[in-house]
Amino acid sequence: MTVFLRAGVLATLAFTWLFAADTDSDIYNAEKAWAAAVVARDAAELERIFANELIYAHSTGVVETKQQYIERLKSGAQKYDAITHENTKVVDYGNAAVAHSTVRMSGTSNGRPFNDHVMMLHLWVKRGGTWQLAAHQTTKLAQ
């Protein structure tokens, strides 16, 4: 009986580790897709990536909805030249995951150039087998 119990515990741990590894990989890929879509100002891709209830909080204190943020990108009021993740840590909560990153972002906002070093927190939720960004928050760091 002890051998079977140990085997069951090991199988459960292995399954949990594999599932967490898949989630980490999925979130890293979702982060890359988000950055690429924002830089490209790809509204169709962002419609898919963003949850309808998205809370998008910028380091400036401005908070936007999904539609407000996408419209700013489409209009050119917000443009990114580059978004580079320096490091990312993912914490898996099952159908939700948090990605905490240090990121460099450059571009223009309302016609003013920016080149920011930020700490970024993303909340991802899994719906229908797809990860969607539900919340974004950045805080400026020293350059």
Domain count, the chain: 1
**Cα(73)–Cα(51) distance, integer angstroms:** 17
Considering the entire predicted model, what is its pTM?
0.84
**pLDDT by residue (tens digit) across 22-51?**
889 999 999 999 999 999 999 999 999 999
Q: Going by C-beta distance under 8 Å and a sequence separation of 6 or more, which residues neighbour residue 128?
A: none
CATH number at 96 reads 3.10.450.50
Q: Which residue has the higher pLDDT, 4 or 110?
A: 110
- Give the domain extent around 76: 2-140
